[in-house]
Structure 1
């Protein structure tokens, strides 16, 4: 019986010690290797708004289609802008002829002596040339604007990416400055990991990071690109005059650590992973993982 009790005591002691050691190592891993399940895939969303107004003549893309920089997305009816360009070209020709005429008049009057022409008449001829030159330059500017407006009737993708939530159709009226289409910049995908403020001290720019998406088994290698320097303070509000902070005098007795966004750059995305902005991710940062900015 004594031996049996001793054995039980020893086994219990080893089990408790093993559990304590496992808990200690787990805690060290949790604190030294910061990680969070609160991660999101982000990407830049480019809102495409026309620079000129008019009816949409043709839509060249489909929803979720991949596009390259410079691809035509949709076109606006160009007829009125072609007419405006023709009018501007005709105006330039007229102003050019008028300028040449004024220059010839000035040249003839310059050759005349002061006995045949007054100083005032010569000055008036010089003023007429300057005025005609200014009107010609103005007509050239209007011509360039007309050409630009005609060119802007074709809406092109400014980045490589994907069309998302396409809702524009041929026949819709496009208003200048009003966004009609969105492009997800495929070169801007990154992950924002929201880490507790107690873990930020162990994170530095350049640290290695591992991203695990909820829907894919493969891991995505990356590195810490930057750490946010500000988050919203929900306990304060501005007064009516906006000059004095209005601080909430009460708070819960349990104070939760705030979450600070950490931007994770993706070094290499496996071919079988299709990223979509808004996906949920787990982010694990390895301190001293070859961070290039560490001292």
Structure 2
């Protein structure tokens, strides 16, 4: 009985200790839950404040990359490479010599074109001289026609006299006043005068025909040079154009940098024969880079051209911030511009959130201080509070 009496207070004390420990645990749990709720409330309030003051006025994406309008260097003529003066990663300035081609063939073509031009000028001067000679020939033919007509008149007079003499002697022959020999002589003179008239008339016709030929030649010569000078003659101008093209080909044997930038993808070696229009290297204008940021379609509701934007590049991290502006919004999504666009007319269509490229123009001074390269990853935020 004594042991039972002693055990009862001990059991009561143990139950009290257990209840107290449970109470403490419950109190601690309530305290931590309260603290957690307060922390969540604070975080929620902070997030709400951030969203109201900042978040709702900014849209961002990490699907953004550095891009540039790169220049493809292509030869304008087909020739053999004699010098290559640059290598990959080398910075160049606009006008720097990149490649030199063999100038022998273009120089020969230039010499031929210059010779053709000289010949064309000579032909024009000859045409002018021919026109003058033809004009003089037309004038001379007038004198020939006048002389031929005088000869016809003279022959006609001789013919008329011979015919009169022969007619008279024929009339006197019956009476015996004129001998037969005299009559024969008169008849021969008449026939000779008649032939002379025919010959004189043929000479006149020939002179007239010669004048017509001279006039035709004169007109043809005048048509060649009419309304033109030596420098405006079509044949001369065509020859001048060939000379200019040949000189351009000679100049094109020296290939120069079209812009400031860095040489990339050099694909040409000394001794190689390059084809006209084939790309031999690329110039990347590192001072004129921009960002192509792909935003979700819902993010672009309030985005407008000209809005300010900030850019951070993975290569520098968050320590370097670039400032720029929205330069433009693409006219279509990447999928719509694909070689084979997606066809959603089938019944098993699943909606996919589309992204639209937005171009961000950067500050050239910031690019000069912290250079970027094409293809680098960036993060972009656009301030849409001005909308």
TM-score, L = length of structure 2: 0.66
1:32 and 2:57 aligned: yes
| Alpha-carbon distance in structure 2 between the residues aligned to 1:226 and 1:234 | 17
The 3-state SS of whatever aligns with 1:107 is: helix
Q: After TM superposition, give the deviation of residue 230 of structure 1 in Å.
A: 1.0
Q: After TM superposition, give the deviation of residue 63 of structure 1 in Å.
A: 1.3
Change (3 A) 1:115 1:44: same
Q: After TM superposition, give the deviation of residue 103 of structure 1 in Å.
A: 0.5
Q: After TM superposition, give the deviation of residue 106 of structure 1 in Å.
A: 0.7
Q: After TM superposition, give the deviation of residue 126 of structure 1 in Å.
A: 2.1
Match of 1:242 in 2: none
Match of 1:275 in 2: 372
Match of 2:360 in 1: 264
Q: After TM superposition, give the deviation of residue 288 of structure 1 in Å.
A: 2.7
Match of 2:311 in 1: 211
Match of 1:17 in 2: 41
Q: After TM superposition, give the deviation of residue 42 of structure 1 in Å.
A: 0.3
Q: After TM superposition, give the deviation of residue 167 of structure 1 in Å.
A: 2.1
| Alpha-carbon distance in structure 1 between the residues aligned to 2:36 and 2:259 | 64
Match of 2:128 in 1: 103
Q: Report the number of matched residues.
A: 283
> Relative to structure 2, which stretch is displaced further, 129-138 or 92-101?
129-138
1:148 and 2:248 aligned: yes
Q: Among residues 270, 279, 294, which one is paired with 1:194 in the alignment?
A: 294
Match of 2:326 in 1: 224
Structure 1 or 2, whichever has the larger Rg, is 2
> Relative to structure 2, which stretch is displaced further, 262-271 or 75-84?
262-271
| Alpha-carbon distance in structure 1 between the residues aligned to 2:109 and 2:55 | 67
Q: Among residues 270, 282, 285, which one is paired with 2:382 in the alignment?
A: 285
Change (3 A) 1:136 1:250: same
Q: RMSD of aligned C-alpha atoms?
A: 3.0
Q: After TM superposition, give the deviation of residue 52 of structure 1 in Å.
A: 0.6
Whether the 8 Å contact between 1:55 and 1:174 is mirrored in structure 2 is yes
Change (3 A) 1:82 1:12: closer
Richer in strand (by share): 1
TM-score, L = length of structure 1: 0.84
Structure 1 unmatched runs, 5+ = 240-244
The 3-state SS of whatever aligns with 2:242 is: helix
